[in-house]
Chains A and B, each alone.
Chain A
Amino acid sequence: MKPRQQRMLAVGLAALGIAIAAGLTLRAFQDNMMFFVEVSDVVAGNYPSERNFRIGGLVVGGSIERQEGSLDISFEVTDTACTIPVVYSGVLPDLFREGQGVVAHGRMGDDEVFQADKILAKHDEDYMAPEVADSLSKHQQDIADAAVAGAAECRSNDS
């Protein structure tokens, strides 16, 4: 095979490889990307239905309820404006605590309760996932403004 043909072969293969890669990346943006949705958005109804997504916020103090002796646990997650109830069954990460940041993977059930299949907390010096912190920060501004005007509200879809 002459060098020119070798080069064309190489370029052709590379192009094919990249085309496959591009195809996969497009596919990723539909199936496998995990979206992070803020608690306030979930309550307002803006979340992907029929698929998994992530939520994050603080675990509301006093909201953790566990059946004695069972792996089932329920708690509430808040971004300081709105709150969602979450249920989960399984082992919890070491850093899971009331008042701490948490990220949950799962989907919204029909009963407006978030069914989590994975709870994340990280083993490192950061004590809050950045998405959670950003989300809280956004709502804190609302609250600071609302505190001047009146009460901070959680705007939900119905009522």
Chain B
Amino acid sequence: MTTTVSAPEEAPAGSEPPPRRKRRRRPTLPYLLLLPAIVLELAVHIVPMFTGVWMSLKELTQFHIRDWSGAPFVGLDNYRVTLDYNSATGKELLHSFWVTIAYTVLVVALCYALGLAAAVVLQRPFRGRAILRTLFLTPYALPVYTAVITWSFLLQRDTGALNHVLVDQLHLVDDRPFWLIGGNSFWSLVLTMIWKQWPFAFLCLMAGLQGIPQDLYEAAYMDGAGFWRRLRAVTLPMLRPVNQVLLLVLFLWTFNDFNTPYVLFGKAAPDQADLVSIHIYESSFVTWNFGLGSAMSVALLLFLSVVSAIYLFLTRKARSDA
């Protein structure tokens, strides 16, 4: 009913601002609209995060799990154990930290390279382009565990496709290598993660390339710029905003990756492929030392926050310089 009253009120005024002013009179509405999202984020992310920090200050072992709020307060003891590289716990965590760094650097670099290569070669139209684009996106659309289970079948020692090719068909090696235990397991993990994650880089870079005006390429071509020159002078600078977000997201997802090693190796990851997330999971749920596990998680979050902040600071600077 109010609608019929307010409409004629505004119409004769005939000026531009009315609808805007009408909104400004209701500053509570946007907050109300945000409320469900904020409440849920608080409940599932923020509150547990602070609970995690609090838990990391307690001796929360299996003896106190029934009455976890009554567990003794031990200050920074859990952190001392976590970060003491002379203790077995600290040494193992440091090892798995380095494994994770190597894993992350390899996976992010290769996912980006594959994604960029595919996006660039699919930039100009040709027959079959749509089919290839769809095919390349398929691994990303697969549920993570089905993708990883398929790879674990390919990598089986006796019944897998990889050893069939290497040993039975190409005769490159005589003994069937193990791919899911020992040193090779690291490379299996990297390969599997790249397979399912590179399409995300491809998707983002493809979206980014669509925003580059064709004129820029034409102009560069007229000036005699070859393929590499155009890539360096046009494509990469124009992709900078996409790259900034994409590389950060890939870094965080890869570093925190749990699903790939968990499905590929089960609960006991080989030493050479012991990623931090799996390591913390085992330290917490297998030994039931939640205090120590929380301290490790908090340390990990601090590390990721610092790296992300530095990264955003540096790339913002690079962006404004450009």
Asked if chains A and B come from one complex, the reply is no
